[in-house]
Chains A and B, each alone.
Chain A
């Protein structure tokens, strides 16, 4: 059974002054992007854990939303709800917060690859900090987290002290060639908490992706590869003059087929635009 994804959408966003889930990120919301990136890296389902009554932006149909019915207990409560919800679907989960606009699927894969039979949690110490909100957890930890919560614990770090945690250094993370090639600065864990951080993040260059068009979509000199700077599939299509209507689909890195313009892209992605009619 493949790993699942848990994205925590709760939190007050008090320093940001606006709900992080709704922040615009190059044409999509930040939550949509984070959910999409996690979904690209895990084989199982993705669930969003939200605060009671929290308004969320539009999400893909296959993303579940569960309510954290106890307000004010912080991300540890979200961790408990998410792990409990996914316990019967997969042994492993990647959990993260919403505010990781540079999260890369290769980071998620690298973290999940850190599990072995003797590990309950895989947590990077990246960019000088522990990263419990961009980490992997065994879903059987749900009762442990719930017990700690009942005992008054509020920080995910306390869970890590109570289970078999494997810590991953920058060097260990970057020993993965795919991650080293696509996110050498480990910006995957760069979160945004203030308007200034948000503005600075938005000002960063867009991901460079490789585009190839096939068949009739390659007419008028469109054959061969080209490079495009774009954060979403929709922006990429626009950049090469393709309309993502029912006659067109895109293959993401030769694997996932989609025409959802909100599909998030990251550095190193390869996009193949194809005719949706594969008859022959």
Chain B
């Protein structure tokens, strides 16, 4: 057995409470590593991609990684992987906390759930296997309250990932969180909610072997030292909110539902400003030496963690510059358990609709902080416009018709993060083609646009190469897993990462193997989506971005040229070895190590539900 692994996943049938072990051979683990990579393979093997995300038969997996539990800084991360109720495609979201360590040390590389609990329940997993307990006393509570109540009930050692009221209510962009860290994008909380599963509690029961403990310790010391250097200074000193003013200065701060790329009132929301006036504390995730979390005071005596994406989506994107309103909205999203980006994106879209007379909501106007908070409240309690907005902007717009759809800014149904693709062509491609939809974490192509090497107003082949390269790097760092905020300390990332993995696993890996691994993970995600109904036409950017140019301070007008974007997408597909139907060649598909045959693009979603692996073994039952 390789170091860092248990070579098994746990699959729990929530209808019966029974668990089964799913063997994970070295061949699979080495191919997919862990995190989003292994999660993708598991979803292929355990679920039918054509099953709706909110149906009981859907599968959701908490997936750990070989580095979890080592002293390597930022390694206490886990991925949650499922078919998204928002996009209908694969989604994978990461969070950092002790849940990762405790979950892995239950003796599993992943914990997956399928089926539906008869009543609101909590799943417990430790050395005694899985069991379900009632969640009546926490149903309706926030994730934070749920953790507190269940922590009291279960006693020490348990780490609890929970959903908030939004997940219970089926808000399609609900999150799962532990210790305030959210697996945020794609609506994974709604998947758990549909399964009547309020929380998953894990408790460490064993240890995991590491191939070279001394080597890992030395590497951990070195990495920790490097994590204090200039590559992470931005995160330590101001956090990700440090992006806001900088992005505003370079015309890439989406404002008023992408009606503009600068926000005149951005300074009121800037980290530089808030840090002086409201900074309360700085915090770190488990096993992290960076400490990127910056806590700010909110109106009324509370406090909240603030990230760039929260402030972007609930601030400039909605035209809101009142820091009290934005911070309160961010805290409210955390309390409800909803993704701030999709929440802000959906409300901003609704503001556009109201402005255009497509929604009769005179109170919902850009720039109105009270309206922003009211919209969040209605999403939470299902009143007023809430049920429509709970669907996310793409589904909501489909109910209203073409004029409303023309105002959406999503890719594959996922609202855009705070990077304006019209001024970032490599990122535009990264957003257009990513399997998860509009996503800045699985495609870090903005690095190429903002790195000073490429002309961000003259897209070409180099931007395509950069988009592939950054997507590959993300695939590995999200599968090992390490925090992306650490990426700047690696000068030769694939080579350095392979050395870390070799120390932990004992496999003699090199950079080339990891590059191949990255390509495999990216391809496996696309194959899942193909089975879920994806077509090549889903790779693209929304009409609103193509039709709305951006005017720079110089007066120069730039637009995302559709023929150029189309050429870049085609070049990306070629670079990924895909044919005109989005399919790889037989060898590349065989390398994915999947049980199913190459999907037929003419029959999306036609794959038969896979039979459970013959080697599954019962390991537990409802007490």
Distance (whole angstroms) from the CB of B228 to the closest CB of chain A? 13
- Kindly list chain B residues whose C-beta atoms are within 8 Å of the C-beta of A129: none
- Kindly list chain A residues whose C-beta atoms are within 8 Å of the C-beta of B250: 251, 254-255, 257, 272, 274
In the assembled complex, A15 has its CB within 8 A of some CB on chain B: no
The listed residue (A247, A249, A259) touching B488 by CB distance below 8 A is: A247
Query: Does A276 contact B242, Cβ atoms closer than 8 Å?
Result: no
- Kindly list chain B residues whose C-beta atoms are within 8 Å of the C-beta of A185: none
Query: Does A278 contact B237, Cβ atoms closer than 8 Å?
Result: no
Whole-angstrom distance between the alpha carbons of A249 and B450 in the complex?
8
Query: Does B246 contact A274, Cβ atoms closer than 8 Å?
Result: yes
Query: Does B240 contact A254, Cβ atoms closer than 8 Å?
Result: no
Whole-angstrom distance between the alpha carbons of A43 and B485 in the complex?
34
Query: Does B243 contact A253, Cβ atoms closer than 8 Å?
Result: no
Whole-angstrom distance between the alpha carbons of A93 and B552 in the complex?
23
Query: Does A276 contact B452, Cβ atoms closer than 8 Å?
Result: yes
In the assembled complex, A205 has its CB within 8 A of some CB on chain B: no
Question: Nearest residue in A to B247 (C-beta to C-beta)?
Answer: A278
- Kindly list chain A residues whose C-beta atoms are within 8 Å of the C-beta of B419: 278
- Kindly list chain A residues whose C-beta atoms are within 8 Å of the C-beta of B455: 256
Known contacts A257-B450, A257-B456; A219/B237 CB under 8 A? yes
Inter-chain CB contacts under 8 Å: number: 107
Q: How many residues on chain A are close to B (CB under 8 Å)?
A: 31
Question: Nearest residue in B to A273 (C-beta to C-beta)?
Answer: B246
Which of A29-37, A66-74, A189-197, A208-216 lines the interface with chain B?
A: A208-216
Whole-angstrom distance between the alpha carbons of A260 and B451 in the complex?
11
Question: Nearest residue in B to A280 (C-beta to C-beta)?
Answer: B240
The listed residue (A43, A215, A247, A270) touching B242 by CB distance below 8 A is: A215
Known contacts A254-B553, A274-B246; A279/B452 CB under 8 A? no
Of B231, B249, B251, B552, most buried by chain A (CB within 10 Å of CB) is B249
Query: Does B245 contact A247, Cβ atoms closer than 8 Å?
Result: no
Of A255, A258, A260, most buried by chain B (CB within 10 Å of CB) is A255
Q: How many residues on chain B are close to A (CB under 8 Å)?
A: 44
In the assembled complex, B153 has its CB within 8 A of some CB on chain A: no
Query: Does B485 contact A216, Cβ atoms closer than 8 Å?
Result: no
Whole-angstrom distance between the alpha carbons of A218 and B234 in the complex?
11
Tell me the residues in window 545-584 of chain B with beta carbons closer than 8 Å to chain A beta carbons.
552-556
The listed residue (A43, A245, A259, A272) touching B246 by CB distance below 8 A is: A272
Query: Does A279 contact B484, Cβ atoms closer than 8 Å?
Result: yes
Question: Nearest residue in B to A272 (C-beta to C-beta)?
Answer: B249
The listed residue (B234, B272, B446, B556) touching A275 by CB distance below 8 A is: B234
- Kindly list chain A residues whose C-beta atoms are within 8 Å of the C-beta of B230: 245, 247
Distance (whole angstroms) from the CB of A44 to the closest CB of chain B? 8
Question: Nearest residue in A to B555 (C-beta to C-beta)?
Answer: A178
Whole-angstrom distance between the alpha carbons of A278 and B424 in the complex?
12
Query: Does B488 contact A215, Cβ atoms closer than 8 Å?
Result: no
Distance (whole angstroms) from the CB of B238 to the closest CB of chain A? 6
- Kindly list chain B residues whose C-beta atoms are within 8 Å of the C-beta of A276: 450-452, 488
- Kindly list chain A residues whose C-beta atoms are within 8 Å of the C-beta of B240: 279-280
Interface of B toward A, CB cutoff 8 Å: 230-231, 233-234, 237-238, 240-243, 245-247, 249-251, 271-272, 307-309, 418-419, 440, 444, 446-447, 449-452, 455-458, 484-485, 487-488, 552-556
Interface of A toward B, CB cutoff 8 Å: 43, 178, 212, 214-216, 218-219, 223, 245, 247, 249-251, 253-260, 270, 272, 274-280
For this complex, 17 residue pairs linking A to B, each with C-beta atoms less than 8 Å apart, are A215-B238, A215-B243, A216-B238, A247-B231, A256-B457, A257-B452, A257-B456, A260-B452, A270-B553, A274-B246, A274-B250, A275-B233, A275-B242, A276-B450, A278-B243, A278-B446, A279-B444
